[in-house]
Copies of this chain bind each other. A is one copy, B any other.
């Protein structure tokens, strides 16, 4: 039993050392539980410490097995409204990119995700609202080379977040702990209780 606890603690510390406090997503009205779960699972895979949401799952935060338990390891901070979410992120130095199919949107691969970055995703059917687009620092899009014009929101989130992972791996941002010591100890204590 002692070995298992030791192994688990080593595993948790290994993951915590790769957490990226300056990479996140802001989910606006993403209602379908399997989408929210899949996005949190991708967040875990690329090291997001905390995700942000406005009005997730229509107010009833239900997770299903698609998340594979990742909602345990990625904090989800739910903001009362868009303005509060943007204030929180802007205060902490995040550049917020909105995903949008607009002509003037940049190719998502042109963004430097090694800087503090939040990517905003909108509801499955409607995408990001005009209000959120106006608040964002810029619009980005995924090149769609077929007949269909948009991707499922959890697929789009994965494509963009793994580009961020690719850039951060290259920049060595997973090679050393990035949480300040106090936050590291606080999260470690919380995770060990899970």
Chain A residues near B (Cβ < 8 Å): 11-12, 15, 18, 34, 38, 41-47, 66-70, 72-74, 109, 142-152, 154-155, 158-159, 162-163, 165-166, 169, 174
The docked-state distance in angstroms from the alpha carbon of A187 to that of B52 is: 44
- 24 sampled A-B residue pairs with Cβ under 8 A: A11-B147, A34-B34, A38-B151, A38-B152, A38-B155, A41-B151, A41-B152, A42-B155, A45-B143, A45-B144, A45-B146, A45-B151, A46-B145, A46-B146, A68-B150, A70-B146, A70-B147, A70-B148, A73-B146, A73-B148, A109-B166, A143-B169, A145-B174, A162-B163
Q: Once the chains are docked, how many angstroms separate the CA of A38 from the CA of B150?
A: 11
Asked if B47 and A148 sit within 8 Å, CB to CB, the answer is no
Q: How far is the CA of A12 from the CA of B147 in the complex (A)?
A: 7
Task: Output the least CB separation between A80 and chain B (Å).
Answer: 28
Bound Cα distance A149, B69 (Å): 10
Which residue of chain B is the closest to A108 with respect to CB atoms? B162
Return chain B residues, CB-CB under 8 Å to A74: 146
Interface of A is mostly: helix
**Pair A44/B165 contact, Cβ less than 8 Å:** no
Residues of B within 8 A of A162 (CB): 142, 159, 162-163
Closest to A150 in B: B68
A106, B23: Cα distance in complex, Å:
26
A144 to B148, CA, bound (A): 29
Q: Quick one: given A42-B151, A151-B41, A151-B158, are A146 and B34 in contact (CB under 8 Å)?
A: no
Partner among B69, B154, B174 whose Cβ is within 8 Å of the Cβ of A152: B154
In the complex with contacts A158-B158, A159-B158, A159-B162, A44-B147 CB distance below 8 A: yes
